[in-house]
């Protein structure tokens, strides 16, 4: 059958359909959930690797759903940035799946609250699988309305996951998250209305060719951007993020910080720089950069002020997302590098490092029973691998070589100094210094061993808790060394329009 | 007449500013809507051209289930997600049945519920050539379910949870299975084979209508069913 | 053309009213209802886009499909939000915000 050939574009549907079926099966059979979920995560990674190979051999491909060509049908498309985001999701997703298994089995082994945690586990897996399907669908989609449906899929599952822990604080945070997410999708839909009124098509490829400078297009872009910015938590629309991410269960925090916010950011970047590049003006880019700069500094300052570990990591997410937006005024600087490169490196490195950090924080919380920063002493002796993972993740967040975070910040610095916009470089450096403060603050506490400390024997459950975190942290560290691979995939698979615009504004 | 002194205060400064901003935004958007006339009929022509190949006569159903069926597949999952989220949060709450069901209620349910099921089935069937389809039929089925839940029929105690789960998952699984089947046969996801489009769409719509009705009724129930029965005693 | 304009502007006013209520009021039920009104406004504008006067040709089915999808999504999110709000009230012993201050202007809160 031609479907199974290596060159068939039909492989593109697998990253969406497989987790969907896995989610349905996980909901139906509440006993074999981990086996189903693990199988889905593994096959997802395999298929994404196959798609990468396809991209490198055949170039960007399109797959038409139902065989209907645009403008009638929906298209899926693979190209460099999409595939890198898929890879990020697949690798991080696999690590989080393993971590979640360890997390829940540790919690269930405590007989006092086993029932509650068993119930949490039973509903975690279908929600996580459907969220994975939504994320993959978002990265692959080439149709404006299809993106809306996947955004809703992601939003509802993320809000349900955030509420899973059942604590009053997390319920409140999840409610706010749900409303904000809905408001964002609604504004995005409103933007689609204007887009449809002026152009009459919904396919991104056709919109790219048709892009005019009309009032309708500008309004549509503003509305869609506001909706996506609400979901990406850029300052000052970030108020929902720290409570939601801090109060959730540890694997859920990792999913939310590492993957969910990247989805809407990816769509935003694609709209601004690939679909409607002629509608964007330099003052608008500078405005986004300013908001990003404020996010970096403000988020870092708030992170330093926190007393609880998970809140600190959540504010660190707010700060790191600001770097992604500082790349906006710098993305088109001529340097021979593709438009997406700064953003991809920061996003990839942040996904791995932040999920590793949340996983480490979760393990510490399980071990100690609390996450107050000033009482974290002595963890180094009982959880050495976790502390090591936390440290390496911190290295990437601070932007020290040879981590992926360093490569991203280096690209930002060269772009800003090269185009004589030196103020962005100042913000990046200050942000890194502030990040080092909040990372080292916790590290120093973790390393202190108080007097009279007795070593708690580490239970065997901890293996699944510690090693995925370490693996992700090491990936974020060596992303800098292997920086040529993502760059190769980007260059190979970028659409021609983006390459044309590397040379400056039109 | 207001109770306990709840009076309508005037808006304070921030709220007045916000009101002004909202009015300005509405006026601006209204002007933009007024100055951008209707869309070019690109898609209308394309749908009209391809209508005959889609297997159904209603253009809306053709778009929903055939041309843009992938969106509908994801959307059915969204409904299921709402149920999963609800079940993860709380248990369904019904008061212990103390008094008997009034004869008016009983008579109404006896008359209406079966008729509603018939109407739902007809709506699903009608979707192929007039307005109708899975969602409309599912909404009626959901209303029938709500009626039964509100009446607190004693028969509800005996529904096993597994059958509820199967009913919920039936529609999405049928849809996904059909999509994959088409993928293997024609090489395109949801690319119905020639001539088989009509009855395949009908099959998918029936399954989805059942699932959607069950979803809406269970969302009204407001939580996961207890292990032994669907009822939970009044705490 | 005039019909389309009337419906679109109505939808827009609904959107604005819902948005204002969402920001101003702090009671969760009010917020959920406000978001529902906003969605209805957007759907109305979409449906108005699909309007073709009688006899002038085939209807435009794509906005219809979009609105159907949007309604389903809106129902799902409303249900989940309502149950979350119920759960919040169950787990916290105090009443929902907005009920305590009777006769005072409720605090601004979406944040």
Closest partner residue to A152 (CB to CB) among C45, C62, C73 is C73
Residues 6 or more apart whose CB falls under 8 angstroms from that of A123 comprise A160, A164, B84, B87, B88
**pLDDT level of residue A91 (50, 70, 90 thresholds):** very high
Contact criterion met (CB < 8 Å) for A71 and B42: yes
Using a CB–CB cut-off of 8 Å, the residues of C that contact B are 1, 4-5, 8-9, 12-13, 15-16, 19-20, 23-24, 45, 49, 57-62, 64-65, 68-69, 71-73, 75-77, 79-80, 83-84, 86-87, 90, 102-105, 108
- Specify the long-range contacts of residues A271-275, CB closer than 8 Å, at least 24 apart: A271/A221, A271/A224, A271/A225, A271/A228, A272/A221, A272/A225, A272/A328, A273/A331, A273/A332, A273/A339, A273/A340, A273/A498, A273/A501, A274/A208, A274/A339, A274/A495, A274/A497, A274/A498, A275/A204, A275/A207, A275/A208, A275/A211
Closest-CA distance of chain B to residue A137, Å:
9
B231 falls within a domain: no
pLDDT of residue B131: 81
Helix (H) or strand (E) segment spanning residue C84: helix C61-91
Q: What is the 3-state secondary structure (H, E, C) of chain B?
A: CCCCCCCCCCCCHHHHHHHHHHHHHHHHHHHHHHHCCCCCCHHHHHHHHHHHHCCCCCHHHHHHHHHCHHHHHHHHHHHHHHHHHHHHHCECCCCCCCCCCCHHHHHHHHHHHHHHHHHHHHHHHHCCCCCCCHHHHHHHHHHHHHHHHHHCCHHHHHCCHHHHHHHHHHHHHHHHHHHHHHHHHHCCCCCCCCCCHHHHHHHHHHHHHHHHHHHHHHHHHCCECCCCCCCCCCC
A384 falls within a domain: yes
Contact criterion met (CB < 8 Å) for C62 and B68: yes
A439 vs A494 pLDDT, higher one: A439
B182 falls within a domain: yes
Measured between alpha carbons, how far is A195 from B141 in angstroms, rounded to an integer? 35
Share of chain A above pLDDT 70, in %: 93
Backbone angles phi, psi at B163, to 5 degrees: -70, -30
Subunits with 3+ Cβ pairs within 8 Å of A are B, C
CB A483 within 8 A of CB A404: yes
Contact criterion met (CB < 8 Å) for C110 and A172: no
Both tokens of A20, joined, read 């969907």
- Using a CB-CB cut-off of 8 Å, the residues of chain B touching C101 are none
B22 falls within a domain: no
Whether residue A149 is predicted with pLDDT greater than 90 in this model: the reply is yes
Helix (H) or strand (E) segment spanning residue A99: helix A80-108
Closest-CA distance of chain A to residue C74, Å:
8
pLDDT of residue B232: 41
Segment 2-61 of chain C within 8 Å of chain A by CB = 15, 22, 28, 31-32, 35, 38-39, 42, 45-46, 49
Helix (H) or strand (E) segment spanning residue C64: helix C61-91
Q: Which of B79, B93, B84, B78 is nearest to B222 (CA)?
A: B93
Angle at B61 between CA C60 and CA C80, to 5 degrees: 100
- Using a CB-CB cut-off of 8 Å, the residues of chain C touching A240 are 111
Mean pLDDT for chain A overall:
86
Tally A–B CB contacts below 8 A. Answer: 154
| Domains of chain C as residue ranges with CATH | 2-91 (1.10.287.3510)
**pLDDT level of residue A115 (50, 70, 90 thresholds):** confident
Whether residue A182 is predicted with pLDDT greater than 80 in this model: the reply is yes
Instruction: Flag whether residue C82 sits within 8 Å of chain A, measured between CB atoms.
Output: no
| Half-sphere exposure at residue A41, Cβ-oriented, CA atoms within 13 angstroms | 26
Measured between alpha carbons, how far is A334 from A332 in angstroms, rounded to an integer? 6
Segment 52-81 of chain C within 8 Å of chain A by CB = 62-63, 66, 69-70, 73, 76-77, 80-81
Helix (H) or strand (E) segment spanning residue A501: none
Number of folded domains in chain B?
1
pLDDT of residue B78: 95
Mean pLDDT for chain C overall:
81
> Residue A426: beta bridge partners?
none
Instruction: Flag whether residue B66 sits within 8 Å of chain A, measured between CB atoms.
Output: yes
Of chain B, the end-to-end C-alpha distance in Å amounts to: 35
Measured between alpha carbons, how far is A320 from A327 in angstroms, rounded to an integer? 12
pLDDT of residue B229: 43
A161 falls within a domain: no
pLDDT tens for chain B, 235 residues: list them.
Answer: 434 444 456 778 888 899 999 999 999 999 988 887 766 667 777 777 787 777 788 888 888 888 899 999 999 999 999 999 999 988 877 655 556 778 888 899 999 999 999 999 999 999 888 888 899 999 999 999 999 888 877 777 778 888 899 999 999 999 999 999 998 888 888 888 887 888 899 999 999 999 999 999 999 988 888 764 444 443 3
- Structural domain including A386 reads 289-506
Share of chain A above pLDDT 90, in %: 44
Angle at A128 between CA A223 and CA A78, to 5 degrees: 60
DSSP 8-state symbol, C99: S
Residue of A nearest to B197 (CA): A66
Measured between alpha carbons, how far is A29 from A23 in angstroms, rounded to an integer? 10
Rounded to an integer, the average pLDDT of C13-20 is: 94
pLDDT of residue A96: 94
Segment 137-156 of chain A within 8 Å of chain B by CB = 137, 145-146, 149-150, 152-153, 156
Where are the alpha helices (H) located in A337-461, listed in sequence order?
A: 341-368, 379-382, 384-398, 404-418, 422-447
A180 vs B34 pLDDT, higher one: A180
A427-470 pLDDT, tens per residue?
999 999 999 999 998 888 888 777 766 666 655 557 778 888 88
A61 falls within a domain: no
Segment 26-55 of chain B within 8 Å of chain A by CB = 29, 32-33, 35-43, 46-47, 50
Measured between alpha carbons, how far is A492 from A485 in angstroms, rounded to an integer? 11
Contact criterion met (CB < 8 Å) for B70 and A74: yes
At A451, is the secondary structure helix, strand, or coil? coil
Helices A33-58, A484-493: crossing angle, 10 deg rounding: 60
Whether residue A375 is predicted with pLDDT greater than 90 in this model: the reply is no
Polymer length in residues for chain C = 111
Residues 6 or more apart whose CB falls under 8 angstroms from that of B125 comprise B132, B202
Tokens 């053309």 belong to residue:
C1
pLDDT of residue C108: 33
Closest partner residue to B189 (CB to CB) among A13, A156, A164 is A13
- Using a CB-CB cut-off of 8 Å, the residues of chain A touching B169 are 24, 27-28
pLDDT of residue A463: 75
Tally B–C CB contacts below 8 A. Answer: 114
Rounded to an integer, the average pLDDT of A387-407 is: 88
Closest partner residue to B63 (CB to CB) among C1, C5, C62 is C62
Measured between alpha carbons, how far is C111 from C102 in angstroms, rounded to an integer? 21
Contact criterion met (CB < 8 Å) for A17 and B176: yes
Contact criterion met (CB < 8 Å) for A202 and C63: no
Q: Is the Cα torsion angle C23, C24, C30, C35 positive or negative in sign? A: negative
Tally A–C CB contacts below 8 A. Answer: 73
Contact criterion met (CB < 8 Å) for B68 and C76: no
B40 falls within a domain: no
At A372, is the secondary structure helix, strand, or coil? strand
B107 falls within a domain: yes
Share of chain C above pLDDT 70, in %: 80
pLDDT of residue B9: 65
Q: Is the Cα torsion angle A317, A323, A328, A334 positive or negative in sign? A: negative
C50-103 pLDDT, tens per residue?
887 776 677 788 899 999 999 999 999 999 999 999 999 888 765 445 433 333
Measured between alpha carbons, how far is C64 from C44 in angstroms, rounded to an integer? 10
pLDDT of residue A500: 40
B47 falls within a domain: no
Residues 6 or more apart whose CB falls under 8 angstroms from that of B140 comprise B116, B119, B120, B123, B213
Instruction: Flag whether residue A175 sits within 8 Å of chain B, measured between CB atoms.
Output: no
CB B119 within 8 A of CB B143: no
B97 falls within a domain: yes
pLDDT of residue A496: 44
Determine the residue among B9, B11, B59 to mutate to test chain C binding: the one whose Cβ has the most chain C Cβ atoms within 10 Å: B59
A146 falls within a domain: no
Backbone angles phi, psi at B191, to 5 degrees: -95, 95
Pairing of strands A75-78, A61-64: antiparallel
B68 falls within a domain: yes
Instruction: Flag whether residue A130 sits within 8 Å of chain B, measured between CB atoms.
Output: yes
Rounded to an integer, the average pLDDT of A205-227 is: 83
Instruction: Flag whether residue B78 sits within 8 Å of chain A, measured between CB atoms.
Output: yes
**pLDDT level of residue A498 (50, 70, 90 thresholds):** very low
pLDDT of residue A130: 96
Contact criterion met (CB < 8 Å) for C88 and A159: no
- Structural domain including B192 reads 53-221
Measured between alpha carbons, how far is B127 from B114 in angstroms, rounded to an integer? 20
Closest-CA distance of chain B to residue A152, Å:
7
**Lowest-pLDDT range of A65-79, A471-485, B198-212, B221-235:** B221-235
Rounded to an integer, the average pLDDT of C4-10 is: 90
pLDDT of residue A432: 92
Measured between alpha carbons, how far is C103 from B4 in angstroms, rounded to an integer? 8
A491 falls within a domain: yes
DSSP 8-state symbol, A271: I
Contact criterion met (CB < 8 Å) for A189 and C31: no
Instruction: Give, in order, the Cα–Cα distances in Å from C13 to each of A220, B212, C24.
Output: 18, 31, 17
Number of folded domains in chain A?
1
Closest partner residue to A1 (CB to CB) among B169, B180, B184 is B184
CB B191 within 8 A of CB A66: yes
């Amino acid at each position: 059958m031609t479907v199974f050939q290596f060159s068939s574009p039909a492989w593109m549907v697998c990253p969406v359909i497989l987790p969907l079926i896995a989610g349905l099966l996980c909901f139906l059979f509440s006993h074999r959930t981990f086996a189903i979920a693990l199988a889905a995560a593994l096959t997802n990674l395999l298929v994404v690797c196959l798609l990468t190979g396809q991209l490198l051999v055949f170039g960007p491909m399109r797959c038409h759903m139902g065989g209907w060509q645009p403008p009638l049908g929906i298209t899926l498309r693979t190209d460099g940035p999409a595939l890198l985001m898929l890879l990020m999701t697949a690798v991080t997703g696999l690590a989080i799946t393993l971590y979640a298994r360890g997390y829940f089995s540790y919690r269930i082994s405590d007989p006092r609250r086993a029932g509650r945690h068993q119930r949490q586990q039973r509903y975690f897996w279908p929600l996580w699988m459907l969220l994975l399907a939504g994320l993959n669908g978002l990265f692959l989609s080439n149709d404006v309305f299809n993106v809306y449906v996947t955004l809703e899929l992601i939003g509802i599952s993320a809000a349900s996951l955030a509420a899973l822990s059942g604590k009053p604080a997390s319920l409140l945070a999840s409610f706010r998250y749900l409303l904000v997410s809905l408001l964002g999708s609604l504004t995005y839909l409103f933007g689609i209305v204007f887009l449809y009124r002026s152009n009459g098509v919904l396919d991104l490829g056709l919109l790219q060719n048709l892009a005019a400078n009309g009032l309708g297009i500008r309004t549509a872009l503003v509305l869609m951007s506001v909706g996506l910015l609400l979901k990406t938590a850029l300052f000052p629309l970030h108020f929902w993020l720290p409570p939601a991410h801090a109060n959730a269960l540890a694997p859920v925090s990792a999913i939310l910080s590492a993957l969910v916010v990247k989805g809407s950011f990816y769509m935003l970047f694609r709209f601004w720089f690939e679909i409607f590049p002629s509608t964007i003006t330099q003052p608008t880019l500078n405005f986004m950069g300013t908001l990003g700069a404020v996010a970096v500094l403000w988020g870092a300052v708030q992170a330093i002020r926190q007393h609880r570990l998970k809140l600190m990591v959540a504010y660190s997410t707010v700060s790191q997302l600001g770097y992604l937006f500082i790349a906006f005024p710098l993305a088109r600087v001529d340097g021979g590098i593709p438009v997406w490169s700064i953003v991809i490196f920061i996003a990839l490195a942040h996904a791995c490092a932040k999920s590793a950090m949340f996983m480490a924080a979760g393990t510490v919380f399980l071990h100690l029973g609390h996450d107050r920063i000033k009482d974290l002493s002595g963890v180094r002796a009982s959880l050495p691998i976790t502390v090591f993972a936390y440290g390496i993740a911190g290295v990437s967040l601070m932007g020290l070589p040879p981590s992926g975070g360093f490569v991203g910040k280096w690209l930002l610095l060269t772009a800003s100094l090269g185009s004589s916009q030196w103020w962005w470089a100042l913000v990046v450096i200050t942000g890194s210094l502030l990040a080092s403060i909040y990372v080292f603050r916790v590290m120093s506490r973790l390393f202190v061993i108080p007097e009279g400390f007795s070593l708690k024997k580490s239970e065997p459950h901890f293996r699944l808790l510690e090693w995925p975190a370490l693996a992700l942290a090491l990936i974020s560290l060596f992303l800098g060394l292997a920086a040529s691979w993502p760059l190769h995939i980007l260059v190979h698979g970028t659409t021609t329009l983006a390459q044309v615009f590397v040379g400056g504004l039109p | 007449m207001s109770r306990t002194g709840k009076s309508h205060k005037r808006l304070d400064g921030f709220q007045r500013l916000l009101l002004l901003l909202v009015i300005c935004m509405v006026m601006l958007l209204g002007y933009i809507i007024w100055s951008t006339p209707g869309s070019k009929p690109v898609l209308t022509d394309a749908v009209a051209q391809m209508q005959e190949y889609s297997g159904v006569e209603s253009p809306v159903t053709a778009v929903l289930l055939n041309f843009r069926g992938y969106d509908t597949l994801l959307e059915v999952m969204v409904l299921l997600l709402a149920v999963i989220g609800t079940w993860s949060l709380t248990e369904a709450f019904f008061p212990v049945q103390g008094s008997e069901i009034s004869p008016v209620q009983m008579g109404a349910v006896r008359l209406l519920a079966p008729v509603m099921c018939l109407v739902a089935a007809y709506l699903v069937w009608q979707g192929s050539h007039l307005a109708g389809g899975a969602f409309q039929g599912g909404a009626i089925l959901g209303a029938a379910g709500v009626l039964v839940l509100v009446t607190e029929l004693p028969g509800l105690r005996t529904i096993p949870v597994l059958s509820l789960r199967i009913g919920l998952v039936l529609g999405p699984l049928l849809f996904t299975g059909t999509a994959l089947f088409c993928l293997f046969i024609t090489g395109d996801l949801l690319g119905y084979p020639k001539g088989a489009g009509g009855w395949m769409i009908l099959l998918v719509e029936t399954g989805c209508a059942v699932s959607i009705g069950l979803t809406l009724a269970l969302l009204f129930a407001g939580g996961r069913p207890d292990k032994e029965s669907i009822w939970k005693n009044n705490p | 053309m005039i019909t389309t304009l009337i419906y679109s502007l109505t939808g827009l006013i609904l959107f604005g009213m819902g948005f204002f209520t969402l920001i101003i009021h702090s009671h969760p039920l009010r917020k959920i209802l406000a978001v529902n009104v906003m969605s209805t406004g957007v759907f109305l504008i979409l449906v108005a886009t699909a309007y073709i006067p009688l006899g002038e040709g085939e209807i435009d089915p794509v906005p219809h499909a979009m609105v159907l999808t949007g309604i389903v999504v809106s129902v799902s999110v409303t249900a989940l939000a309502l149950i979350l709000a119920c759960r919040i009230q169950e787990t916290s012993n105090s009443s929902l915000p907005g009920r305590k201050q009777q006769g005072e202007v409720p605090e601004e809160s979406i944040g």
